[in-house]
Structure 1
Amino acid sequence: MTTKSIQDSVITDLKLAPEGHLKIDWVEAHMPVLSRIRKQFEQEQPFKGLKVAISLHLEAKTAYLAKVVQAGGAEVTITGSNPLSTQDDVCAALVEDGVTVYAKYNPDPKEYKELMIRALENKPDLIIDDGGDLVSILHSERPDLLENVRGGAEETTTGILRLKAMEKEGQLKFPMVAVNDAYCKYLFDNRYGTGQSVWDGINRTTNLVVAGKTVVVVGYGWCGKGVAMRAKGLGANVIVTEIDAIKAVEAYMDGFQVMPMIEAAKVGDFFVTVTGNRDVIRGEHYDVMKDGAILSNAGHFDVEVNKPELEERSSSVRTVRRNIEEYHLKDGRKMYILAEGRLVNLAAGDGHPAEIMDMTFALQALSLKYVNEQYKEIGASVVNVPYELDELVARNKLETLGFGIDQLTEEQRAYLDSWQEH
């Protein structure tokens, strides 16, 4: 615990720290790859004398990443990336561990934004972002805080889309590593992490059976693939809606029904949006939905399910269980939105399993080290995680699981490298 972290932090209650420490200890025990990187960072001190600002879903796994970056010599400041995913006890534990925290569970929109800005007012050298919020604030509202920023790493598909739009317009002022596009991120985090955590959140929130129900998965990217796969495993009839013809064919080949949203809306019991776009469920869809339909979102922002158009059709709205809002429509039907349309796996759950985030946050830590070493050479652009870092994380994961893989012989290598070999 440091005087600075206590004096500067804005959290709910420092007395909650003991429970937060238990949560962090639990995930640390299940994140061996990140623990290896921590030992490396403790020896090498790659961030000595630097300030790092982090905006991620502020729960135990994120807290352990912050401690790993701190172990590398950084002065770490952290804020949340979603009002409903912040866990107050974890925040308190981080403050006791010397991290400056600006985050509370469910602040109002104004305070939520102010807390993000407070984190940036520490004038970071490096950032870890989720959804591009820190980068957006730096470039639009607070360009006076850009001066020290060397670069950073972005966690999400949504954030990378925003970054690439900025880069295309010539607005991006520093390099960002697209962690979401790394193999060890999207193949495992987006697919297996989202697939499991979305249904963890839905099941614990609704306490309803999934088997035999019709689940509509809106979007068949890597997150959608995971959500659909797990819904099928729970015994649901799965429908996929898409705007991409190739992904739609892939969903069909994977054994799912494919149809336009206006048709799927008529038969769905559960809806899960995973597109990164806005209004993918909207007024015209509500008009044909079944009584009792349950709507949830697993995309970054709470714009995928259009709540204002549902409110327009409703005579009343009430909370019927924690994280379940009931919309009583004027025609008598009832519909339900989980977690206010925010990320259901984090706002109504604990997020991805620790073993999955072990790989993602290992990539984050290594990418932050990489951008700090190469920011001058990279320039103001969005770059991929170097393949050797991706493979390093995978090899470490295999070793911690007790598995090995084969190596090419010299003859095999020569065969692959030559067009004359037969």
Structure 2
Amino acid sequence: MDYDVRDIKLADQGKLKIEWAEATMPVLRLIRKRFQRQQPLKGVRVTACLHVTTETANLAITLKAGGADVRLCASNPLSTQDDVAAALVQHEGIPTFAIKGEDNTTYYRHIESAIGHRPHVTMDDGADVVSHLHSKRKDLLRNVIGGTEETTTGVIRLRSMAEKKVLKFPVISVNDADTKHMFDNRYGTGQSTMDGIVRATNRLVCGSVVVVVGYGWCGRGIAMRAKGMGADVIVTEIDPLKGLEAVMDGFRVMPMEQAAPVGDFFVTVTGNIHVIRGEHFAAMKDGAIVCNSGHFNVELDIPALEKLARKRKIIRTGVEQFTLKNGHRVSLLGEGRLVNLATAEGHPSSVMDMSFANQALGAEYIVKNYKMLEKKVYPVPPAIDKEIARLKLAGMGVSIDKLTKEQEKYLASWEMGT
């Protein structure tokens, strides 16, 4: 079997971690049992470019249980858990191409290896496989019947491709599922981002000023968790509705120009480029800590920070300190990459349970319906979204009410009023 991992001897350690995560992924576990019986992905070649973590491992195992021929590579050079990658190879027989800290050349070589079996279905977190197929490996496009996309940044790229009529196959936007973005983005990103910051720095959040750049679902979650830890939270936004929502949620809202001199911690979650720029770094107080929890590190203008610095050094694992020409020290976490994965372990498995259930069922939907789909980005069908929510509640031991016949009739009628 073809694979490329750091050390295959880490496999037993990784297997235990995968089992630990699986214990709080009841939805994916139920899907796996059905997949084993029904084999809906039998003979389907799936290339998955995702964060190689314990949760992703359980998704890959589920896809294989459904009959898929799965190959996995990393969607970020710093997010791989090397023991998990080894376990997937050694214990599950899933070709995996991922090494934590891999350079750019290795990253794209791993993508090439992952598409080496000529995939029918792509599974992306950031659209790198789709982009690579459309730009570098057009010869493989004729095999692809569809794909799924995990994150906001990837969906933005795919919608741009669809609008420009260059997207060659349909893609399901897993990120737009309510059971993904309302939970994974908010609760997962909120907790894991603060976890990454604390693990990397061991700084006290309570009493500090945390600047959250962007108030989408991820920004909401981070602001909520930082506030819960005792921080004074500032939000920066470009959208007046989101800015207003942040004010109504009890946060200070201001432009980055005003936030830069007062923040102790800065976290970007916008999906856009250079939202913290040179002029902002130059205005920061001594000791400011900057990180990114969006998919790509371009949210931070790192080249501008490097130009402002008169010296730089790795002061802790995952922490690079830049001493600016004015003497102020600004620390960058995790090379500006996803801080929750670069310096921590990513989202808790219980929330990824829903996200990866969407991935598994999205792949099944593509296989069943691709002939009827156009070459564009589709939302997860509402029936799948609600079924995942139902299964999650059941897995948590929570019951909800059902409509009575009278209530169903009332909701379907127009005759009954005040």
Superposed pair shares fold, TM > 0.5: yes
Q: Structure 1: how far apart are the matches of 2:140 and 2:290?
A: 39
User: Alpha-carbon deviations, 1:317-349, whole Å to 9, x = none?
Assistant: 110000000001112110000000000001111
Matched residue count: 416
SS at match of 1:325: strand
The answer to whether structure 1 residue 40 and structure 2 residue 34 are counterparts is: yes
Map of 2:138 onto structure 1? 143
Map of 1:235 onto structure 2? 230
The offset of 1:132, in angstroms, is: 0.6
Q: Which amino acid aligns with 1:80?
A: A
Q: 1:113 aligns with which of 84, 95, 108?
A: 108
Q: Structure 2: how far apart are the matches of 1:47 and 1:421?
A: 48
The offset of 1:298, in angstroms, is: 0.3
Q: Which amino acid aligns with 1:33?
A: V
Q: Which amino acid aligns with 2:199?
A: R
User: Alpha-carbon deviations, 1:89-125, whole Å to 9, x = none?
Assistant: 1111000111011111111111111111111121011
Q: 1:274 aligns with which of 269, 272, 277?
A: 269
Q: 1:77 aligns with which of 71, 74, 79?
A: 71
Q: How does 1:58-207 map to 2 (within 5 A)?
A: 58-96=52-90, 97-207=92-202
Alpha-carbon RMSD: 0.7
The offset of 1:30, in angstroms, is: 1.1
Q: Structure 1: how far apart are the matches of 2:255 and 2:387?
A: 41
- Structure 1: runs of 5+ lacking an equivalent: none
The answer to whether structure 1 residue 23 and structure 2 residue 17 are counterparts is: yes
SS at match of 2:362: helix
The answer to whether structure 1 residue 314 and structure 2 residue 314 are counterparts is: no
Map of 2:415 onto structure 1? 420
Name the TM-score, length of structure 2 as normaliser: 0.99
Q: Structure 1: how far apart are the matches of 2:319 and 2:159?
A: 35
Map of 1:257 onto structure 2? 252
SS at match of 2:89: helix
Map of 1:51 onto structure 2? 45
The offset of 1:379, in angstroms, is: 2.0
SS at match of 1:147: helix
User: Alpha-carbon deviations, 1:365-401, whole Å to 9, x = none?
Assistant: 0111001111110121100000010000000011111
Map of 1:398 onto structure 2? 393
SS at match of 2:298: coil
Q: Is the 8 A contact 1:121 1:145 kept in 2?
A: no
Q: Is the 8 A contact 2:97 2:113 kept in 1?
A: yes
Q: Structure 2: how far apart are the matches of 1:186 and 1:32?
A: 19
Map of 1:350 onto structure 2? 345
User: Alpha-carbon deviations, 1:114-158, whole Å to 9, x = none?
Assistant: 111111121011111011100000101111111211111100000
Q: 2:217 aligns with which of 186, 205, 222?
A: 222
Q: Which amino acid aligns with 1:366?
A: L
Q: Is the 8 A contact 2:48 2:70 kept in 1?
A: yes
Q: Structure 2: how far apart are the matches of 1:107 and 1:408?
A: 53
Q: Which amino acid aligns with 2:23?
A: A
Q: Is the 8 A contact 1:132 1:154 kept in 2?
A: yes
Q: 1:244 aligns with which of 239, 243, 248?
A: 239
Q: Is the 8 A contact 2:282 2:324 kept in 1?
A: no
The offset of 1:13, in angstroms, is: 1.4
Q: Structure 2: how far apart are the matches of 1:91 and 1:223?
A: 27
Q: Structure 2: how far apart are the matches of 1:332 and 1:10?
A: 43
Name the TM-score, length of structure 1 as normaliser: 0.98
Q: Is the 8 A contact 2:148 2:363 kept in 1?
A: yes
- Structure 2: runs of 5+ lacking an equivalent: none
Q: 2:378 aligns with which of 383, 397, 400?
A: 383
Q: Structure 2: how far apart are the matches of 1:63 and 1:392?
A: 22
SS at match of 1:216: strand
The offset of 1:206, in angstroms, is: 0.4
SS at match of 1:122: coil
SS at match of 1:294: strand
SS at match of 1:104: coil
